[in-house]
Amino acid sequence: MADLTSNFIGIKSPNPFWLASAPPTDKEYNVRRAFDAGWGGVVWKTLGEAGPPVVNVNGPRYGAIWGADRRLLGLNNIELITDRPLEVNLREMKAVKRDYPDRALIASIMVPCEEAAWKAILPLVEETGADGIELNCGCPHGMSERGMGAAVGQNPDLIEMITRWCKQTTRMPVIVKLTPNITDVRLPAAAAKRGGADAVSLINTVNSITSVDLDLYAPEPTIDGKGSHGGLCGPAVKPMALNMVAEIARNAETADLPISGIGGVTTWKDAAEFMALGAGNVQVCTAAMTYGFKVVQEMISGLSQYLDDKGMALDDLVGRAVPNVSDWQHLNLNYVTKAVIDQEACISCGRCYAACEDTSHQAIDMSEDRVFSVKDDECVACNLCVNVCPVENCITMKRVEPGEIDLRTGKVVPAAPADWTSHPNNPMAVRAAE
């Protein structure tokens, strides 16, 4: 099997799969079970400053969204940082690191925006033997109302300031965890880099209300008749996470900033996609909470097999897709495709016909005996039929090369202008001219 040994910003672990800072990493018992199951590292649930304890709600803490088969697509949590005493967490972290020296142990930290508060907690964390720290600049609920979490992550100046305080104070590598609840994630990433961050991790959870109780007329989860926005995680946020990782990886100012990818990683394929878009490793939460810690074993075997099949090393995968992430105006307008239906695989459900006839380009024909075929002269290759078809690979897109006949027009497929960026029909060129 391919060697999955990871060296992320100098932090070594037997594989690139870490548990994210969350309930699964809240105590020694959980973390030991995780390491025994095969996880390469953990980010301990966020620590706060010593003093009055954090008090969590005692009612439901999670809302959820499900697919039609009740597969969990997302969790919306209103849980705060650890509510266990700081000294207990530190003692347990030290014991775990002593017994699992080959695993990565990262301390997530969130304290007020005061230099003294950061400089007080960092030496205490160092004494545990932790391999690094993650600055929680992303929590969107509870702590943000107190001027921490996302309240910091939405302010690049604060990110830069706190990162610099930590880099000046600790020997440990510093990872800055970014919030997705912002217009342009490149700005806080650049701020973290200016502050001296060794890496960024993203995404934290997305502000959300997943459902409303229509008897109580309150958001769920409901606490004594009221609810609050929470943080959404799980497969539902993966597309947003992939995009934000890619934006940082392809931005000239942050392209060399290491990334720990977070957001809906459930399978080895999810992890490989994050890494192809620039993540050096991945962090997981919802998948472990849904399926248990042993889910990592499938991730390990699957990624190993994929790398073997490709003849690649782990480092070869990181960033491999970044050069192919393009702005729209640079896409190849000479690339033309048409839909093709495999009649042997077709189950005659009619989804493609209904979707195309009602909401697209009326490019699918239905015969009296419910045989569906594509009208090439109307097909604009939107791909909707492929996405609504319940049979995998029943409908595919066939490329039409420039010079072939486009049956929609009856003419030879023309080549787009060589310099499309300056073509008068390009909206970006029109905007620039204006």
Region of residue 348 (phi > 0: left; psi between -120 and 50: alpha; otherwise: beta): left
Q: Which residues are catalytic?
A: 139
Q: Check if the beta carbon of residue 200 is closer than 8 Å to that of residue 280.
A: no
Tally of residues, the chain: 434
Pairing of strands 411-412, 405-406: antiparallel
Phi then psi for residue 23, to 5 deg, are -50, -35
Nearest to 65 by CA among 179, 230, 240: 230
Query: What angle in degrees, to the nearest 10, is found between the helix axes of 86-99 and 28-37?
Result: 30
Those residues with Cβ within 8 angstroms of residue 214's Cβ, 6 or more apart along the chain or in another chain: none
Q: Check if the beta carbon of residue 113 is closer than 8 Å to that of residue 152.
A: yes
Q: Check if the beta carbon of residue 411 is closer than 8 Å to that of residue 390.
A: no
Q: Which residues pair with 218 in a beta bridge?
A: 213
Question: 294 exposed, middle or buried (CB, 10 Å; 0-12, 13-18, 19+)?
Answer: middle
CA 242 to each of CA 21, 180, 259, 264, 387: distance values in angstroms, whole numbers, following the listed order: 19, 11, 11, 10, 20
Rounded distance between C-alpha atoms, residue 13 and residue 3, angstroms? 11
Percentage helix, strand, coil for the chain under 3-state DSSP, each rounded to 5: 35, 20, 45
CA 328 to each of CA 66, 88, 332: distance values in angstroms, whole numbers, following the listed order: 32, 52, 9
User: Greatest CA separation found in the chain?
Assistant: 77
DSSP category for residue 118:
H
Q: Check if the beta carbon of residue 291 is closer than 8 Å to that of residue 283.
A: no
- The CB-based long-range contact list for 33-39 (8 Å cut-off, 24+ gap) reads 33/293, 34/288, 34/293, 34/296, 35/96, 35/100, 35/103, 37/292, 37/293, 37/294, 37/296, 37/297, 38/294, 38/296, 38/297, 38/300, 39/15, 39/103, 39/293, 39/296
